[in-house]
Amino acid sequence: MMKVLAIALNTFKEAVRNKVLYFLLIFALLIMGFSGVISDLSIAAPEKLIKDLGLAAIDFFGFLIAVFVGVYLVYTELDKKTIYTIVSKPIDRYQFILGKFFGLLITIYVNMLIMSIFFFAVLYFRDATDFDKVMKAIYREVAPGQFEPIGNPQVQYYLYHLKQFIIAVGKGIATVFGYSEPITHHLMRVIGMSALGLAIITSFAILYSTFSTPTLSAVFTFLTWIIGSLCEDILRYAERLAQKAGGVQNLVGPDLLKYWFAQVAMHIVPNLALFDKRTEAVYGPWEVATPNIHNVPIDWVSVVYGLVYVAGVLCLASMIFNRRNFK
């Protein structure tokens, strides 16, 4: 265990030196900040836009880190031949794979944590700087319908924003550690599920990089992600095809091929849609009129499915890596 941890920490140290990571992080933060600004344009519920964009950014940029940083990690060790001195040490090759996986996962999760804090801060700040709230803070109602400013309104306006900014960052940090307000209720669960989905993608990035080049691994990982995210839709499409033809037995030619492709894909590729709880959290179930807060119950079946999937892919990666000759 100590050896796996040592490799994981070294992988993390290596990954945080990758400049791509910072570009991705900065870009993600920009998008979230921007979502706070354009949320004013939203007619009904500004926080929905922030939530939707923010949660999507956390998930998508986590995925990009897995691809762009992940596919190089194993390759660099082979390319620079540092693997020579690693495999000659008293460790098993699967420990190396596990170390790489956890190192990459730590990198992704640390980034997700930073993005989440920022996301919550934007959310809290936007909420606290709502026009009504700002006005209430800098004007006092002396008589019904009569208001007078508290001190210099301009100074008060900026002071209020500064104060709210600091509070929002503080609350943002608290939120990732379990604090929640109605506006951020259950969002950590959504991010948690996202993190589990990313663990699957990470394990695939590691799997592919045990036997192919970084470019190919990136392509494979990307395709896995796309098919995985869409596989419920693909299956639905296949069922529709069968329905239209009046049963599977009536399908012929390309339609039959499509049907079986969907069936096979569904059972091989991870169903990443299970880990996407964003719509549920932001907009609620389809059939219910939308209040602002939605309950997102923890989906234990998906959690177990995710963990089993990760373990399976890592086993496969170890098996391939075990047989490799390092030229």
Partner 1 sequence: MKIIETKKLSKVYTHDFIDVEHGRIKFNFFRRTVALDGLDLEVGEGEIFGLLGPNGAGKSTTIKILMGIIFPTSGTARIMERPLGDKEVKAKIGFLPENPAFYDYLKGEEFLDYYGQLYGMPRSVRRKRIDELFELVGLPDHAPNLPLKGYSKGMIQRIGLAQALLNDPKLVVLDEPQSGLDPLGRKEIRDIILRLKDQGKTVFFSSHILSDAELICDRVAIVNRGRLVAMGELSHLLSPKIKEYELVASGLSRESLDVLEKHARKFIERERDVLMILEKEELVKEALRRIVAENASLVSLTPRRETLEEYFIREVARTNAPREEVRA
- Which residues contact partner 1 by CB under 8 A? 2-3, 5-7, 10, 13-14, 17, 80-92, 323, 325-327
Of 7 and 317, the one with the shorter C-beta distance to partner 1 is 7
Of 243 and 322, the one with the shorter C-beta distance to partner 1 is 322
- Main-chain dihedrals φ then ψ at residue 277, nearest 5 degrees: -105, 15
Contact 249, 23 (CB under 8 A): no
For the bound state, the minimum distance from the C-beta of residue 21 to partner 1, rounded and expressed in Å, comes to 14
For the bound state, the minimum distance from the C-beta of residue 173 to partner 1, rounded and expressed in Å, comes to 29
Count of Cβ atoms closer than 10 Å to residue 285 Cβ:
10
Q: Which two tokens stand for residue 112?
A: 């997700």
For the bound state, the minimum distance from the C-beta of residue 87 to partner 1, rounded and expressed in Å, comes to 6
For the bound state, the minimum distance from the C-beta of residue 212 to partner 1, rounded and expressed in Å, comes to 12
Of 92 and 181, the one with the shorter C-beta distance to partner 1 is 92
Of 143 and 327, the one with the shorter C-beta distance to partner 1 is 327
- Main-chain dihedrals φ then ψ at residue 129, nearest 5 degrees: -100, 25
Helix (H) or strand (E) holding 75: helix 70-79
- The span from the CA of 50 to the CA of 58, in Å, is 12
For the bound state, the minimum distance from the C-beta of residue 11 to partner 1, rounded and expressed in Å, comes to 10
Of 177 and 323, the one with the shorter C-beta distance to partner 1 is 323
Contact 224, 216 (CB under 8 A): no
- Main-chain dihedrals φ then ψ at residue 230, nearest 5 degrees: -100, 0
